Structure 1
Amino acid sequence: MSFLSAEHVEVPGLESLQVLASTTPSTAFVALNLREPPYDDVRVRRALRAGMDIIGLVEQFHPGARVARTLTPPELLAGSEMAPLPAPDVALAEQLLRDAGLRRLKLTLHHPVGRDTSTEDAVLFRPLMQAGLLQLEHVELAPEEYLTRLRDGKMSAFRTLWLADFPDPDTFLYFLLNSSAQTVYPVGYRNPELDRITSEARVSIDPELRQQLYVRAEHLFRDDCPLIPLYHERVHAAASAAVQGLRLHQTPPQVRFETLWVDPNTTE
């Protein structure tokens, strides 16, 4: 049994294997440190979001993933109104930057060794760079330094993927956004109304009320734009036909090896 990246699912030679795919309660996003200018200005954050080619990023580098319209994966907020697909709007981005007193934005993305996203980011930020609105740089850090700066809230901007350990909106909207819960990614975001409703939702036993509160939180999140959602990943795995009981679970570990067994009578 082996996990596959999305781009390898269609490669020749897998015909004799069983290949499975499953959604995961995950969201990849760009995070901005709201304690540092110019990211403390919501117009700058919205400008970045407006000018990014998220669809191009997903189509080229993450086939099978779902373009994110919300921070919470859509299956966890069933029936909620979805935001439109995020198409690049360079004119809007330019206007927002000008309103914030900027003609060009310098964005420095930090990443640990082995997690360089510069090739992807050349596509993601291409509309802004081609318009002369963005200067993009990448800084590689040793894993220990990266984690320390991340934990201490001393990273100006970075990309990451959040994989929830439990499929519930609380694991996204409370743990990533509530100002008292930002321990993994302390980006300095604080909205008293969002704090109130996410705190209320996580202790409510009324499913309809929880749904309403989390939908409201998503709207506040979209207005404030502390993070820029990119996509919801899918997980893929391949195994020989002899492996029985293979199932992909939404939350880690996606494969429960204790449930697998090998049928010696299966012909490869």
Structure 2
Amino acid sequence: MSEAPSIERLSLNQITTESWNLEEAVQGCVRQEVPWISVWRHKIHEIGLKQSRKLIQDAGLQVSSVCRGGMFPAESASERKEKIEDNRRAIEEAAELGTDVLVLVCGPPSSRDIDSARKWVEEGIEELVPFAEKHGVKLGIEPLHPMYAADRSVISTLGQANTISENVNTSQVGVVVDVFHVWWDPELYKEIQRAGRNILGFHVSDWVVPMPDMFKGRGMMGDGIIELRRMRKAVEEAGYHGPIEVEIINQAIWDQPGDETLKQMKASYLEHV
């Protein structure tokens, strides 16, 4: 087994400490010596973009990504246009905070027509490329586990994400590998190699058995069955050596003190990732 990753790569994905506002999350990262943070847009909007940038810069943190853009499918052209405009705002927010990655959760079908939904996802991403390039922000397509296809994303496999990235055919578009969403895929390691240097992010948590909740069911690294270190080694061999985000959506973890969560995630990251 390869050695543990450097602590300098560790990033708090802000949803892991959902009970904290951005200021609390930033201060927690400073106290616990976590050098990176991934910021969620609803936390930015609570205090405003300029104040968000100031908090992060004054603390000396680096921003690994902004989450999230996407949510492209809609029945009407006018609705799809509104979604594109919201994604443009998300790109501007990412650029202002100094990150070059906007994570895309691509969106559910707006009817039973899942094929059209997938087409609208690709068209939406393609339309955003010139704006993203102008702002120096890359679009990271994050496939979600198939159980979320009806309510969060019609892009369910790394293979689908790779195909969209290849079809759009620009270095502004890549993929995000989240272990919780892709660990089960028999084509996973082939698709990681296929993605290569188009991997824009690597997110870790664990799949616990039994899962306590379909949405808030992610576990701390080492508490479940995912081959975390094997997957980390695979993305590194493919060319990704950037920050590693701990992204855990779990009510029990949200309910505990945030500093305790950060201590746990540091220890689990070093032992299991």
- TM-score interval (norm. to shorter): under 0.3
Q: Which has the higher helix share?
A: 2
The structure number with the bigger radius of gyration is 1
How high is the TM-score relative to the length of structure 1?
0.27
